[in-house]
Structure 1
Amino acid sequence: MKPREHRIPVRMFAELADGGGGPSAVAQLAAAQHSKHVLLVRGVVEAAKAVGHPDAGMARRAYDLLAAIQSRDDDAVDTVLRHPSVGAWSRDTINALRERRPGATPRGLAALAAAAAIRSGTECEVDVPAVEGVVTLPSLGQAVLPPTATEATVHSRADGAEVSGAGVIVTIPADPSRDGPGWRGLRTVSAEADGVPLRLVIDDLDPYRMPGAANMGGRLSGGDVARWQETLQAAWRLLVRHHRTVADEVRTAISVLTPLRTPPAGGQSSATSRETFGCVALSTPPDPAAFAVTLTHETQHAKLSALLDIVPLTEPDDGSRHYAPWREDPRPIPGLLQGAYAYLGVTDFWRRQRRIETGRAELEASAEFCRWREGAYLVTRTLMRSGRLTPEGEAFTARMAQRLKLWADEPVSTAARELARRRAERHRARWRERNGMEPDAP
């Protein structure tokens, strides 16, 4: 398992800065993230050995098994290593080992090897950790054993697999995405429009599926999955037919959805993490347009996060905090750049979407376009004045600002402009009252 060097050509860098890039750029970013996961997994082995962790040998054997499986079935190992939670688990484990924190779990590498063995039909037995009786196999699902179980054994064969521990045997279904006695599979939702397919895994099980999320949702019911499926189909049709480049970027970047709890006020909440490339966390989408714009928004975050692993765009945080028209809290420069880039994509979405809407929907779409083109442009000015961008970050932000400035000349109805203005002013007033400071000047 060898990572390779990744570089972003100047032209591709400029296309990404414009808010796009297309599927070829996103594929390069995704390849870099795969190499990052390979490095992190190798880092777990090396960190465990360096600190003399008692599970260092187990981690080494698991890594060797992964390498052996890869020599026969590269796709099986690739699928497991690309699973978003693998990045979060491996980084957390390395940090815990280096800091000598209790609870470091380098033997979790055995669960990756077991998942790859099952996917490839490799005949082997792998001892894996269990947490209160639950065995998590990344990209596949969970086996539930008695809560006293702290470890289990995965028995993988060409014709199936089982998990045994504490006197209980759980048979993994032939299709691991299906539930079975003692088995909870990672289900999928899929869509197709004009011959363009999309398939996404719903990971509502892995403890590392979205680190740091305070509003993590639980296991979706069958009815919930069906509603997500129905809404995704309509959202995907909208993206493919009216936002094709975005659709191609989404299907290249995003592989996993993770449920969040619906906000108390309703609507939609969503998130991505730099540690879990390919995963979008979101509450139940209220309608297809909300689902579509959420995928657009979070794909922008995923693109920028992956780019930042290759090209630093900001200097280290100096403690300064600034106004963002889409947040209730003051933001550091790195967070401000993330938000501006996401809303560059959102602005472009509503720019296209308003052309196909009529009546009230057209008014709302135009107001969203007007509000976010102005809000994102305001933030690019804050970024450029901050002195906290690298030379590459300055070039990147300048192209973002240039694109937003071009859109400022596009006509918007008086009613839409007024609606956007009122919403922006309410947000500024609420932010000022909440934070006790003045928002950055336009």
Structure 2
Amino acid sequence: MTSDAILRATAERIAEHATAHGLDTAHVVLHGGEPLLAGRTRLRRAAEELNKALSGVCELDLRIHTNAVTLDERFLDLFAEFDIKVGVSLDGDKAANDLHRRYANGRSSHDRVLRGIALLNQPRYRHLFAGILCTIDVRNDPVAVYDALAELTPPRVDFLLPHATWDEPPMRPADDTDGTAYARWLLAVHERWLADGRPMDVRVFDSILRTLRGDSSLTEALGLAPADLAVIETDGTFEQADSLKTAYDGAPVTGMDVIANSLDEVAAHPGVVARQQGLDGLSEQCRACPVVRSCGGGLYAHRYRTGSGFLNPSVYCSDLLRLITDIRDRHMSDQSDQSDQSIQPALADDHLDELAAGLGSTLTTDLLARHQLSLGRELLGLVWHETPHTPVGEAAWETLTVLDRVAPESVDRVLAHPYVRPWALRSLRGDAEAAETAVRGVAEIAAAAGLHAGREETVVVPVRDGLLRLPTLGSLAVGAGVERAEVRADAEGFTVRAGARTYTMPWKGAKDRAWQGSRRFELDGWAVTLEDTDPWRDCHGHPAHPRLTEREAEAWRADLAAAWAWIRRELPQYAPGIAAGLRVVTPLVPSLDGDDISSAARDAFGAVAIARPATPEALALLLVHEFQHVKLGAVLDLTDLHDPSCERLFYAPWRPDPRPLEGLLQGTYAHLAVIDFWLARRRTTSGEEARAAEIQFSRWRDQTAEAVETLAASGALTPAGERFVAGMRGTVRGLLTAEVGADAVRAARRVAAEHRDAWEAAAR
């Protein structure tokens, strides 16, 4: 039988089955082995036969799963032509990959795989990227594996337990006495994923959460839903799931093929029927288990034992029990509630509406800030729970727990510092440096909180690179070679003993020259710190400015005061939110070409970073613009506004590159403030300045309105997201009534068209 005949028969059998059962979509995955070895001609033939057979019958969801070693632009052009989604096998960073995925001569394949994924991440191919499949090896560092995969920005990751049975159990570390090594590995990934803001779907975690709510699983390895797949080999024979090959020789064989048998006949095979029985098909131990509706007995192949066949719990039973119960306890406040509970409580509708309009009152912004503080507390506890302890760390933690009981406001003051969260996230990475970072940070927080509380007790703080950090207060240069410092408050201030020196730091008056204190400015209704000392401030995507001179700091104070006065006078609707939520401005290194630079880090609520611009008015624009990002980031921590599985990229009028949906949402929300700024500038200037402001107002008003409609039509907004975007639309529509001169409209449209043309040229 020729290969072409097998392909044609396969396509016809799938179409026959789809027709008989009224299917909306047929899901077909080309895998192997390595399917790219079939070559482009054979893959094209397969795509053509499937599309031809299913045309007018149902949709075709065609995918290919590859190791990406030979993936190139010619393959991707073919896949784009037939809309073939591409999944890639990659087990993590280079060390993890090289445990199992080397060439026969021992050479690593890692660089070739990364090259293929880089091609998939190009704008013209990104829509084809289906995700990454990672097989777990507990010898690998779970956080390092996660970080390596997350850095590749896949839309989803599927972590798979290695195939094993009771006859041939999985490899386990020698100290895995309770049989939960794989659960602990996945739970470390889970916590990192949550702390990272869930940047992509993780199928195992999403499936557990779905099944805990009573929904279906996304994988055959969990849940009680019937199995719905069949495997067709290249010779046309039907088999059951490939994983059954690990049970015993011939386990997946059906004795059927695409020429003689239909898919309905395959579905009636005893081995397939056995996987359709749900709870009734499980062992007595599984049926009595409290998490059986989530676990589903695990992957069918993993239950096999000689003598009892598949009527056993999974060989990963202890792992699955711990994984599911820990995630349940982490996410579900009420285990009996089957409703869709998100990880964070949702904002009330009136709060969401207020923020959607682009603004935010003192009370609403304070609500966001209080939730961010609760996240900071949660992260601090997670750092302590998940990282190794030392005597210094134990002592600092004990001090911190006492302070939290007797002076909780002092602890909150430190935990609300924007750069505590970046420290916590780095501490949870799981490597040796992260462990040292965790101990040092806990001690720094305890010492700073103790100083705020005026507690006269000594806290020992590890020193790194000769610098003692006291978040919210400043840093002390204690010199190279010093490993620890003793910090103690007294009635007049505090002292630091480090090495052979004692530094005296009075609250009032001159301090030691080695001290670099945070500069806090009490402006008219706004208290803001100019942060140029905290090492964790370097998280904004641009170089942080080194310590400012007194003259530079004074110039910043004057500009901030003038910008704040301008905001209060000309954009008073933004002032309450800024006063309530923007606590820190971090100076950035100016650009060489003089362009304005500003940033808001997703994990640093309450801070914006800015290279000092030429005028206070420009600074006002950057402040209101970036604080929009700060607010929206906090909203997204509370409420899902969009489906994170949306893979499409969108045109953003303010960016040269295509943006994911969340990026477009962020930019659109920030530009609500940009429109208001240019409207105010037009109102408060004259001559050429007013004309330039009118052009800017016209451009950003119209293009933001267009971006709002793009968001609304994306089909990927949650109900809360639809409500939020509707609020943004209402704000923009209210500005469409403002009169703009015809010359300004033409100029604005010309600039917008030039930007769009350049964007499209770059995307080709």
- TM-score, normalised with respect to structure 2: 0.53
1:395 aligns with 2:395: no
Select which of 479, 491, 499 maps to 1:166: 499
C-alpha separation between the residues in 1 aligned to 2:449 and 2:381?
A: 16
Which residue does the alignment assign to 2:456?
A: 123
Which residue does the alignment assign to 2:594?
A: 266
Q: 1:159 to 1:173 in 2, by over 3 A?
A: closer
Select which of 340, 345, 348 maps to 2:676: 348
After the TM superposition, which of the residue ranges 157-166 and 368-377 deviates more from structure 2? 157-166
Matches for 1:26-105 after TM superposition, within 5 Å: 26-48=365-387, 53-55=388-390, 58-94=392-428, 96-97=429-430, 100=431, 102-104=433-435, 105=437
**Which residue identity is paired with 1:131?**
R
After the TM superposition, which of the residue ranges 148-157 and 79-88 deviates more from structure 2? 148-157
Q: Is the 8 A contact 1:267 1:286 kept in 2?
A: no
Which residue does the alignment assign to 2:519?
A: 187
After the TM superposition, which of the residue ranges 103-112 and 318-327 deviates more from structure 2? 318-327
Aligned length: 419
When Rg is computed on C-alpha atoms for both structures, the one with the higher figure is: 2
Q: 1:229 to 1:212 in 2, by over 3 A?
A: closer
CA positional deviation for 1:329: 2.0
C-alpha separation between the residues in 2 aligned to 1:129 and 1:327?
A: 43
Which residue does the alignment assign to 1:155?
A: 488
C-alpha separation between the residues in 1 aligned to 2:432 and 2:703?
A: 42
Q: Is the 8 A contact 1:217 1:260 kept in 2?
A: yes
Which residue does the alignment assign to 2:354?
A: 15
Select which of 420, 436, 441 maps to 2:763: 436
Which residue does the alignment assign to 2:699?
A: 371
Matches for 1:214-293 after TM superposition, within 5 Å: 214-293=542-621
Secondary structure in structure 2 of the residue aligned to 1:84: coil
Post-superposition CA distance 1:361-386 (Å, at most 9, x none): 22222222211111212222222232
Secondary structure in structure 1 of the residue aligned to 2:631: helix
**Which residue identity is paired with 1:352?**
A
C-alpha separation between the residues in 2 aligned to 1:92 and 1:427?
A: 38
1:384 aligns with 2:750: no
Percentage of pairs with the same residue: 33
Q: Is the 8 A contact 1:313 1:391 kept in 2?
A: yes
CA positional deviation for 1:60: 4.5
Which residue does the alignment assign to 2:216?
A: none
**Which residue identity is paired with 1:41?**
L
C-alpha separation between the residues in 1 aligned to 2:474 and 2:742?
A: 52
Q: Is the 8 A contact 1:138 1:206 kept in 2?
A: yes
C-alpha separation between the residues in 2 aligned to 1:278 and 1:179?
A: 28
Q: Is the 8 A contact 2:458 2:488 kept in 1?
A: yes
**Which residue identity is paired with 1:214?**
H
C-alpha separation between the residues in 2 aligned to 1:358 and 1:72?
A: 58
Post-superposition CA distance 1:384-442 (Å, at most 9, x none): 23233222112211221232133223211123223322332332233334x334xxxxx
CA positional deviation for 1:333: 1.0
Secondary structure in structure 2 of the residue aligned to 1:280: strand
CA positional deviation for 1:247: 1.2
CA positional deviation for 1:135: 0.9
CA positional deviation for 1:348: 2.2
1:413 aligns with 2:735: no
Q: Is the 8 A contact 2:540 2:600 kept in 1?
A: no
Secondary structure in structure 2 of the residue aligned to 1:234: helix
C-alpha separation between the residues in 2 aligned to 1:174 and 1:15?
A: 41
1:297 aligns with 2:631: no
C-alpha separation between the residues in 2 aligned to 1:189 and 1:416?
A: 40
**Which residue identity is paired with 2:757?**
A
**Which residue identity is paired with 1:204?**
D
C-alpha separation between the residues in 2 aligned to 1:346 and 1:374?
A: 12
Which residue does the alignment assign to 1:440?
A: none
C-alpha separation between the residues in 2 aligned to 1:127 and 1:174?
A: 20
CA positional deviation for 1:7: 4.6
After the TM superposition, which of the residue ranges 229-238 and 303-312 deviates more from structure 2? 229-238
CA positional deviation for 1:325: 1.3
> Cα RMSD between the aligned structures?
2.1
Q: Is the 8 A contact 1:170 1:181 kept in 2?
A: no
Q: Is the 8 A contact 2:650 2:658 kept in 1?
A: yes
**Which residue identity is paired with 1:370?**
S
Q: 1:88 to 1:343 in 2, by over 3 A?
A: same
Post-superposition CA distance 1:212-252 (Å, at most 9, x none): 52332211121111111111121111111221121111111
CA positional deviation for 1:328: 2.2
Q: 1:73 to 1:158 in 2, by over 3 A?
A: farther
Q: Is the 8 A contact 2:448 2:471 kept in 1?
A: yes
Q: Is the 8 A contact 1:324 1:336 kept in 2?
A: yes
Which residue does the alignment assign to 2:132?
A: none
Which residue does the alignment assign to 2:655?
A: 327
Unaligned residue ranges in structure 2 (runs of 5+): 1-343
Secondary structure in structure 2 of the residue aligned to 1:350: helix
Identify which of structures 1 and 2 has the higher relative contact order when contacts are C-alpha pairs closer than 8 Å and 6+ apart. Answer: 1
Post-superposition CA distance 1:304-324 (Å, at most 9, x none): 111111101122254432221
Secondary structure in structure 1 of the residue aligned to 2:608: strand
C-alpha separation between the residues in 1 aligned to 2:636 and 2:726?
A: 17
Q: Is the 8 A contact 2:484 2:498 kept in 1?
A: yes
Q: Is the 8 A contact 1:145 1:182 kept in 2?
A: yes
Post-superposition CA distance 1:5-33 (Å, at most 9, x none): 85522112112111123222111111111
Post-superposition CA distance 1:156-180 (Å, at most 9, x none): 223321222222322224249x763
Secondary structure in structure 1 of the residue aligned to 2:694: helix
Which residue does the alignment assign to 2:99?
A: none
Secondary structure in structure 2 of the residue aligned to 1:103: helix
C-alpha separation between the residues in 2 aligned to 1:64 and 1:6?
A: 30
- TM-score, normalised with respect to structure 1: 0.89
Unaligned residue ranges in structure 1 (runs of 5+): 438-442
